[in-house]
């Protein structure tokens, strides 16, 4: 998708999600700038992370493969807020999008 990315990853118990995302963002930004020549590319400051049960990996993989279809029905922003609602998470709109 042009405005976001989904990752399905298995992290070591010794690697914090924030550290993993810092490494992914840093390394991919460098690659995008150097290899693709997109000088004005940047990641947003934050990220969303959700745990997925191993029993749901096939379902999540299928979702990721069909993102374009999903986003015909709802924007990324709409889908993200719905995910927060379904998980009964609280958020502050001032900090969700930067």
Per-domain residue ranges for the chain? 17-96
Contact present, 78 and 22 (Cβ < 8 Å): no
Contact 57, 89 (CB under 8 A): no
Q: What is the percent of the chain with per-residue pLDDT over 90, rounded to a whole number?
A: 48
Q: Which pLDDT belongs to residue 98? A: 64
Confidence of residue 1 (pLDDT cuts 50, 70, 90): low
Single pTM value for the model: 0.71
Summarised one tens digit per residue, pLDDT across range 37-53 is: 999 998 988 888 888 99
Q: What is the pLDDT of residue 30?
A: 95
């Amino acid at each position: 998708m042009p405005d976001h990315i989904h990752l399905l990853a298995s992290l070591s118990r010794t690697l914090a999600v924030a550290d993993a995302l810092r490494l992914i963002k840093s390394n991919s930004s460098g690659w995008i700038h150097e290899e693709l020549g997109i000088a004005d590319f940047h990641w947003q400051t934050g990220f969303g992370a959700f745990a997925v049960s191993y029993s749901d990996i096939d379902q999540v993989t299928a979702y990721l493969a069909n993102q374009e279809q999903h986003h015909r029905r709802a924007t990324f922003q709409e889908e993200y807020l719905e995910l927060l609602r379904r998980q009964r998470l609280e958020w502050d709109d001032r900090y969700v999008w930067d």
